[in-house]
Amino acid sequence: MALPKGTKAPNFTLYDSEKKQVSLHDFHGKNVLLLFFPFAFSSVCTKELCSIRDDIGNYGSLNAQVLGISVDSLYSLDKFRKEQQLNFPLLSDFNKEVSKAFDVLYDVFPAFEMKGVSKRAAFVINKDGVIVYSEAKEVPSELPDFESIKSALQAAS
């Protein structure tokens, strides 16, 4: 079960697709939308992240920094980000530590029996580092509830 609302978000530092370290505490004072996703280049993940890309202005107007996280390598994420022209950072949780900390790691991914894949999950973390929205999907083909995410960001702003 994913970390619930009201929980202080665990801090983390990961490398982004540009090989720079990014920490959650870098965004203190700003709302953060963390989107965990199973695989770069898969159809559902592409649809999810491209919908965020196309709506990035609305997230920005809600004082939100969007961060995508998967267990893919930073090299895969770099290629994916460039091909899809994503306008927010993608972070590599290759060692699976952040996915474990947020409790969004499949024991066994349903489609291909792979171990250690991130679930599709969304967390809104407010300016004080507290989770104000938490959603994790057991079925990888289901997208997060973007309207509820926006409502949580609106309330946090």
pTM: 0.94
Distance in angstroms (rounded) separating the CA atoms of residues 92 and 40: 11
CATH code for the domain in which residue 99 is found: 3.40.30.10
| Structural domain count of the chain | 1
| Count of alpha carbons within 13 angstroms of residue 13, beta-carbon side | 4
Q: Establish if 3 belongs to a structural domain.
A: no
Q: How confident is the model at residue 107 (pLDDT cuts 50, 70, 90)?
A: confident
Residues annotated as part of the active site: 45
Quick check: is 6 in a domain? Answer: no
Question: Mind listing the pLDDT tens digit for each residue in 125-156?
Answer: 999 999 999 999 989 899 999 999 999 999 99
Q: Residue 26 belongs to what domain range?
A: 13-156
